[in-house]
Amino acid sequence: MLQLAAGNKMGPSASIVTVENLEKRFGHFTALSDVNLTVAAGEKIVLCGPSGSGKSTLIRCINHIEKHDAGRIVVDGVELTGRMEDINGVRREVGMVFQSFNLFPHLSVVENCMLAPMKVRGLSRAEAHERAIGLLRKVRIHDQANKYPGQLSGGQQQRVAIARALCMQPKIMLFDEPTSALDPEMVKEVLDTMVELAKDGMTMVCVTHEMGFAREIADRVVFMDRGCIVEEADPETFFRAPRTERARDFLGQIIH
């Protein structure tokens, strides 16, 4: 097991995220129990499962937006305990895209992308601007750079959110149901952006129900139910021949 040999920095094929025996409770409700997951550099993982299965909680724990109660999370060689320096250090390397975009409404599109690189990475305004425009171009929204989030459609906002996360040059991107809050006609533009990102070699963990997307880019599909990882397989196997009853039910529901 590579992650046990974890020094501080590891080779390119080493794991970027290691989750061991993770537990998370909200009051009496157990959101995650005994979750183990390893994400290698360059790997694309799709997390799926019924609502309330703990998939969002899992990726929120990886970014320490939720505090876990037991188990270990190691991100890029740093274990997430309670120490703020570690947490902020890790967050710099982990990009996150939210279901509800969470763009900063009082900042223009390009300012949204420049804030963290300037304040956290210490880039000059010019450098941050150049990087922001470059990435906005990549998600094909650079012509809207000076508009405000409220003036954009949901799909456009989500693409800005992706660009904002990329501006920190993260080692891994987490996506928390990035298309669930979108009108159907906007889902594709966001998925296309994510596919491109995947083809560029970005390490990605995506919580999504877009099974076409999972088939196209996922190296592994991880199926969760009631706070546990129930099944892990390559997409071909998972969709063709799910091993567990619960996964079959789930697929039956979303594919009709």
Partner 1 sequence: MFAVLLEQTADGQRYIDWLVSGLGWTLALAFFGWWIAFAVGVVVGIGRTVQNRAVAALARLYVEIFRNIPVLVQMFLWYFVLPELLPTALGNAIKQIPPPWGSFFPALVCLGLYTAARIAEQVRAGIEALPKGQVEAASALGLSGYLTYRHVIVPQALRLIIPSLTSEVMGIYKNTSVALTIGLMELTAQARQISEATFQTFTAFGAATLVYLALALIAYQGMALIDRAVRIPGTGRAENAVEPTATRVAQQVGSLPDAMEVVK
Q: Is 129 strand, coil or helix?
A: helix
At its nearest, how many Å lie between partner 1 and the CB of residue 209? Answer: 20
Residue of 31, 32, 103, 160 interacting with partner 1 (CB under 8 A) = 103
Measure the CA–CA gap between 127 and 129, rounded to whole angstroms.
5
Cβ neighbours of 45 (radius 10 Å): 24
Examine residue 77 and tell whether it contacts partner 1 (CB under 8 A): no
C-beta separation of 17 from 62 below 8 A: yes
- Per the DSSP assignment, residues forming a β-bridge with 94 are 172
**HSE (side-chain half, CA atoms, 13 Å) at 92:** 14
Nearest to partner 1 of 114, 187 (CB atom): 114
- Exactly one of 67, 70, 105, 143 binds partner 1 (CB under 8 A); that residue is 105
Of 129, 126, 140, 202, give the one whose Cα is nearest residue 170: 202
Q: Does 95 bind partner 1 (CB under 8 A)?
A: yes
Q: How far is the CB of 256 from partner 1 (least distance, A)?
A: 31
Nearer to partner 1, 62 or 233 (CB): 62
Query: Which amino acid appears at position 157 of this protein?
Result: Q
- Give the whole-angstrom CA distance, residue 67 versus residue 65: 6
CB 21, CB 36: distance < 8 Å: yes
Q: For residue 116, give both structure tokens.
A: 């963290």
Interaction with partner 1 in 53-72: which residues (CB under 8 A)?
63-65
The answer to whether 180 contacts partner 1 (rule: CB under 8 A) is: no
CA 6 → CA 76, 79, 164, 167, distances in Å?
A: 9, 10, 30, 27
User: Is position 11 an interface residue for partner 1 (rule: CB under 8 A)?
Assistant: no
List the x/- string, 123-152, binding to partner 1 by CB under 8 A: ------------------------xxxxxx
Which range touches partner 1 (CB under 8 A), out of 116-124, 184-192, 222-230, 232-240? 116-124
Q: Which listed range, 13-21, 29-37, 102-110, 204-212, lies at the site for partner 1 (CB under 8 A)? A: 102-110
| The binder of partner 1 chosen from 37, 132, 145, 165 (CB under 8 A) | 165
Q: Does 82 bind partner 1 (CB under 8 A)?
A: no
Q: Which of 2, 81, 83, 119 binds partner 1 (CB under 8 A)?
A: 119
Between CA 201 and CA 213 the distance in angstroms is 16
Q: Which residues pair with 203 in a beta bridge?
A: 172
Torsion sign (Cα): 88, 90, 93, 98? negative
**Pick from 10, 23, 52, 100: which binds partner 1 (CB under 8 A)?**
100
CB of 162 to partner 1, least distance (A): 12
User: Which residues would be at the binding site for partner 1 (CB under 8 A)?
Assistant: 63-65, 84, 88-89, 91-92, 94-96, 98, 100-106, 115-116, 119-120, 147-152, 161, 164-165, 168
